[in-house]
């Protein structure tokens, strides 16, 4: 599907994105430059806040039942310091995908009710150059159900409209 007529704004959008995500963990966004301090940093894939909070950006895949590919949420996940250090140590290493998964907490507020913040996750590293895959722990949350059961292209459009228009 190349484009779609948006039910929210009434406009035609030339592309239906199959990947959306948050620009930074909410905690990072809530801090001023001064509050971030010296032991903080944000890259396209990792975030450290004051040497106390550790995040990686991963891919939460929703299988699309009637489409060619999965829909991807790029999400921030908090890891323990030990897990983050291990992920960082292996960041460029071939074979890192054979590491056992890491426990994490979802730290991206996606357009779902109830909130997606602090859902339990498993973070599996991928081959070097690819972001890790994030799998939600079993729950009755709608995002977990969509990850487990899959979604339709019509649902992808709903998600995109919600993300584009708040």
* 26-35 mean pLDDT: 90
* 69-94 mean pLDDT: 96
Beta pairing, strands 71-79 & 102-106: antiparallel
Could you read off the pLDDT of 96-143 as tens digits, one per residue?
999 999 999 999 999 999 999 999 999 999 999 999 999 999 999 999
Q: How many domains does the chain fold into? A: 1
Both structure tokens of 160? 């995109």
pLDDT given for residue 15 in this prediction: 85
Residue 20 scores a pLDDT above 90: yes
Could you read off the pLDDT of 44-77 as tens digits, one per residue?
999 999 999 999 999 999 999 999 899 999 999 9
**CA-based angle 132:29:101, to the nearest 5?**
20
> Do the domain assignments include residue 5?
no
Which of 137, 71, 146 has its CA nearest to residue 104?
137
CA pair distance 70, 53, nearest whole angstrom = 30
> Do the domain assignments include residue 2?
no
Percent of the chain with pLDDT strictly greater than 70: 99
pLDDT given for residue 8 in this prediction: 72
Please give the residue range of the domain that contains residue 64.
Answer: 20-149
pLDDT given for residue 1 in this prediction: 54
> Do the domain assignments include residue 70?
yes
> Do the domain assignments include residue 67?
yes
pTM of the model: 0.92
């Amino acid at each position: 599907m190349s484009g779609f007529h948006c039910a929210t704004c009434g406009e035609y959008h030339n592309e239906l994105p199959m990947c959306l995500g948050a620009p930074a963990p909410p905690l990072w966004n809530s801090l001023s430059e001064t509050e971030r301090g010296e032991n903080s940093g944000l890259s396209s894939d990792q975030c450290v806040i004051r040497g106390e909070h550790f995040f990686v950006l991963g891919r939460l895949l929703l299988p699309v039942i009637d489409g060619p590919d999965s829909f991807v949420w790029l999400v921030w996940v908090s890891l323990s310091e030990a897990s983050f250090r291990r992920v960082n140590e292996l960041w460029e290493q071939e074979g890192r995908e054979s590491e056992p998964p890491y426990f994490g907490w979802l730290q991206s507020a996606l357009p779902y009710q109830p909130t997606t913040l602090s859902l339990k996750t498993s973070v599996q590293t991928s081959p070097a150059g690819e972001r890790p895959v994030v799998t939600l722990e079993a729950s009755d949350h709608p995002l977990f159900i969509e990850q487990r059961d899959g979604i339709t292209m019509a649902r992808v459009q709903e998600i995109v409209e919600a993300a584009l228009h708040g």
